[in-house]
Amino acid sequence: MKEQLESIQAEALDKIAEADERKQLQDIKVAYLGKKGSLTSVLRGMGKLSKEERPVVGEIANRVRETITAALDEKDEKLEKEEMEEQLEAEAIDISLPGRPVPDGGAHLLTSIVEEIEDLFIGMGFEVREGPEVETDYFNFEALNLPKNHPARDMQDTFYITNELLMRTHTSPVQARTMKANEQNKPVKMICPGKVYRRDTDDATHSHQFTQIEGLYVDTDVRMSDLKGILDKFAKKMFGADREIRLRPSFFPFTEPSVEMDISCKVCNGEGCSVCKQTGWIEILGGGMVHPNVLEMAGYDPEKYSGFAFGMGPERIAMLKYGINDIRQFYLNDKRFLKQYHKA
Ligand code: DAH
């Protein structure tokens, strides 16, 4: 019996040494130490031994069990470690791989330029207002001194929705809306950026939809020199301290007198070049003193109140500032174009 036990131990240890998976160790454990295992069945025969032999064999049997158990545990630990190392190796992250860059977004050039203009005027005490893009004929035209059949309506080819509803052709209706809503005739100092629509054929300088920024300042003693002062400040901040402005007489039905503002050409410094069409000046915006009829229709007594107004196209401002020669670039959303103007 003693030999039998010794050979069971030797056999089990061999098998354990050969095993290369943890599952095999489980099987070995069952085969030798399990209920129906070989060691167990030998021990069952111990009853037949003599009294003297029993403790001797019992001791050997215990030692065999302990040896096999220890060998199994040791091997199991070893295999577990190996398995873990294999897994770590397989799942290793190669931190030397270059990362995939996440493209960072940025404000659209048009958004940035509108915000820049807003900031300049906010700094001069103007509030930012909004108005509807679907506008009534009344606010878009009549309240701006453009009665029905007025020939100057032709200056702005209009998308009509019904006889009385249209897509606003300019942001000027917000002047009338702001004043009309101000029933106590408090002073108004506002700018209004927004989309406008015209029945134009798109080309390098025209778009059926573009942006305008309207300005309006109404109080008891507003003069043309206030308009000039504010616009001069705006032009110098926007285009550089060395820019000059000039006001030329012009015509708009809602202002009297009306002006157009030019800035001195940056490219040639006023000498004359292809950008300024050899004049040394570039047209930037229209404006003037709010027409008494416009004040009156909005509920402001023209005897008491005066005001100036102006309107500009931020696309045009950006085109001049950055040398962009096609207005369609603002609407194509070509990232290669837009990326150049992302602020860091
Ligand atoms: N609304 C005019 C346009 O779209 C621009 C304009 C001119 C606005 C003179 C004004 C202004 O407020 O006083 O062409």
The answer on pLDDT for 155 being more than 80 is no
Neighbours of 19 (CB within 10 A): 19
Alpha-carbon span 116 to 238, nearest angstrom: 8
Nearest-CA residue for ligand 1 atom 4 is 170
Same domain, 121 and 255: yes
Q: Which of 203, 285, 307, 197 is nearest to 238 (CA)?
A: 285
Give residue-wise pLDDT tens across range 19-33: 889 898 898 889 888
The answer on pLDDT for 99 being more than 90 is no
Element (H, E) at 297: helix 292-297
CA of 139 to the centre of ligand 1 (A): 14
Under the banding of pLDDT at 50, 70 and 90, the label for residue 36 is: confident
Confirm or reject: Cβ of 170 under 6 Å from ligand 1.
yes
Q: What is the mean pLDDT of residues 44-49?
A: 81
Whether residue 96 is contained in a domain is answered as no
Question: Among residues 90, 125, 156, which one ends one of the domains?
Answer: 90
Nearest-CA residue for ligand 1 atom 2 is 311
Confirm or reject: Cβ of 264 under 6 Å from ligand 1.
no
pLDDT, position 305: 98
* Percent of the chain residues past pLDDT 70, beyond the cut: 100
The answer on pLDDT for 340 being more than 80 is yes
Neighbours of 288 (CB within 10 A): 24
Under the banding of pLDDT at 50, 70 and 90, the label for residue 114 is: very high
Same domain, 211 and 302: yes
Q: What is the mean pLDDT of residues 121-149?
A: 97
Whether residue 80 is contained in a domain is answered as yes
- Evaluate whether 319 touches 90 at the Cβ level (below 8 Å): no
Alpha-carbon span 250 to 248, nearest angstrom: 6
- Evaluate whether 39 touches 87 at the Cβ level (below 8 Å): no
The answer on pLDDT for 267 being more than 90 is no
By residue range, what is the domain housing residue 29? 2-90
Give residue-wise pLDDT tens across range 184-237: 999 999 999 999 999 999 999 899 999 999 999 999 999 999 999 999 999 999
The answer on pLDDT for 344 being more than 80 is no
Q: CATH no. for residue 231?
A: 3.30.930.10
CA of 154 to the centre of ligand 1 (A): 14
Nearest-CA residue for ligand 1 atom 3 is 170
Torsion of CA 11, 14, 19, 23, to 10 degrees: 30
Question: Among residues 40, 60, 90, which one ends one of the domains?
Answer: 90
β-strands 188-197, 127-128: how paired?
Answer: parallel
Under the banding of pLDDT at 50, 70 and 90, the label for residue 59 is: confident
Q: What is the mean pLDDT of residues 156-165?
A: 93
Same domain, 158 and 306: yes
CA of 215 to the centre of ligand 1 (A): 9
CB proximity list for 236: less than 8 A, separation 6 or greater: 243
The answer on pLDDT for 281 being more than 80 is yes
Burial class (CB in 10 A: 0-12, 13-18, 19+), 210: buried
Whether residue 319 is contained in a domain is answered as yes
The answer on pLDDT for 134 being more than 80 is yes
Q: Please enumerate, by residue number, every residue annotated as part of a binding site for Mg(2+).
A: 256
Under the banding of pLDDT at 50, 70 and 90, the label for residue 154 is: confident
pLDDT, position 213: 98
Residue type, 132: P
Confirm or reject: Cβ of 197 under 6 Å from ligand 1.
no
CA of 170 to the centre of ligand 1 (A): 7
Same domain, 6 and 67: yes
Alpha-carbon span 66 to 291, nearest angstrom: 110
The total number of structural domains in the chain stands at: 2
Question: Among residues 32, 59, 90, which one ends one of the domains?
Answer: 90
Same domain, 136 and 71: no
Nearest-CA residue for ligand 1 atom 12 is 310
* Percent of the chain residues past pLDDT 90, beyond the cut: 65
Confirm or reject: Cβ of 178 under 6 Å from ligand 1.
no
β-strands 188-197, 281-290: how paired?
Answer: unpaired
- Evaluate whether 120 touches 239 at the Cβ level (below 8 Å): no
Indicate the pTM of the whole model: 0.73
pLDDT, position 208: 96
CA of 318 to the centre of ligand 1 (A): 18
Same domain, 170 and 258: yes
* Residue 308 alpha carbon, nearest atom of ligand 1: 13
Give residue-wise pLDDT tens across range 166-178: 999 999 999 999 9
